[in-house]
Amino acid sequence: MWQERGLVIVNLIWVINGKKVKQTFLVILCGFLAAAIASVNSRENLAFTTTKSEPHAVAQVETNKRQIALTFDVGWGDTLVVPILKVLKEEGVHATFFLSGSWAEHHPDLAKKIVKGGHEIASHGYGHKNYRSMDARSIQNDMMLAREAIEKATGKTVTLFRPPNQKYNEQMLRTAQAMHYTVIASSVDAGDVSASSEKEILENVTENVSPGAIIRMHASDSAKLTAEALPALIDALKDEGYAFETVSDLLQNAHTESRLVK
């Protein structure tokens, strides 16, 4: 398209020069053509700006208030959920838990404890698969299995979705959109699965947090230091004046900053 437009512009200038039009008119025309190119550039750039109809993932919200959302991905294991829930209760913090459907199916008692603690339930897919390597039908089936398993275990309707390992592509986002999910990414990753110390987790969050942040942590057994690091982390964020919201409350209280994931 651009090559064709460029050829038209060059041809126009060549014809004008061939007819020996006055130099002042040529300058005006070139200015007009430059403005047209800039306008086209602007329109093409808009293709990368999200609208409500485009598939997108929400990583953070725009807000002047010092509000943040603490989220936990849960895919396997049964030893860390209870200690994490205990800390959250003691700190008076409500979080959003993204549950794997297969995990909820095998641990309905723990899923119910999360609900009982007043926390928000969301979907993390069913089989912890890489959606980037799956076709649309397989993605939809996995999402449907997860929704059914989570709602059966918790009695809650899930409207938020985060794919396993935050593996996004446009096909996955469009499928989630068709299923009326709001896809949630994160702006801060605690790195609690790979962290070698509680201090590292604390620094990963406090050095990157800002108003409207969505913080990603884990309540799976692979994140062995999460429960131990959580009290100091929450206290540090409170000391900085942050208030904790569920993701849904954060979205309702502020303007979302959405982005198209290519």
Q: From 104, 106, 70, 100, select the one nearest 85 (Cα to Cα).
A: 70
Strand 188-189 versus strand 214-218 pairing type: parallel
What's the pLDDT tens digit per position in 208-217? 999 999 999 9
Is residue 230 classed as helix, strand or coil in its secondary structure?
Answer: helix
Q: Which helix (H) or strand (E) holds 103?
A: helix 101-106
The sign of the CA dihedral 71, 135, 133, 169 is: negative
Q: Is the pLDDT of residue 32 over 60?
A: no
Judge whether 58 and 184 are in contact, CB under 8 Å.
yes
Q: From 213, 212, 164, 165, select the one nearest 188 (Cα to Cα).
A: 213
Q: How far is CA 39 from the centre of its chain?
A: 31
In this prediction, residue 167 carries a pLDDT of: 85
What's the pLDDT tens digit per position in 216-233? 999 999 999 999 999 999
| Largest Cα span, the chain | 85
Q: How confident is residue 166, by pLDDT bands cut at 50, 70 and 90?
A: confident
Phi and psi at residue 9, to the nearest 5°? -60, -45
pTM: 0.78
The predicted model gives 30-40 an average pLDDT of 40
Q: Is the pLDDT of residue 18 over 70?
A: no
